[in-house]
């Protein structure tokens, strides 16, 4: 008995030839980047404050 091989599904391709609307698809990215920047700045400020208090 030989093993049965499963065929890989064919990749879907867009046949419209139009560019995707990246602004619409990645609208949330700018907000997320701003949030990450604010959190990074806050963490850095906490580290500096702790360094001044402890050291």
Which is higher by pLDDT, 10 or 4?
A: 4
The predicted pLDDT at position 27 comes to: 87
Query: pLDDT tens across 6-53, in order?
Result: 776 666 665 667 888 888 888 899 999 999 999 999 999 999 999 999
- What residues does each domain of the chain span? 25-54
Q: If you ran DSSP here, which 8-state letter would residue 1 be given?
A: -
> 21 φ, ψ to 5°?
-85, 90
pLDDT at 42: 98
Spell out a b/e string for 1-34, using b for 16 or more CB atoms within 10 Å of the CB, else e.
eeeeeeeeeeeeeeeeeeeeeeeeeeeeeeeeee
- Degrees (nearest 5) of the Cα angle 38, 39, 45? 90
Q: What residues contact residue 20 under an 8 Å CB cut-off, 6+ apart? A: 14
pTM: 0.56
């Amino acid at each position: 008995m030989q093993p049965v091989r499963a065929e890989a599904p064919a990749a879907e391709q867009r046949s419209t030839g139009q560019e995707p609307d990246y602004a619409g698809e990645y609208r949330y990215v700018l907000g997320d980047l701003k949030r990450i920047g604010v959190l990074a700045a806050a963490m850095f400020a906490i580290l500096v404050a702790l360094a001044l208090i402890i050291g």
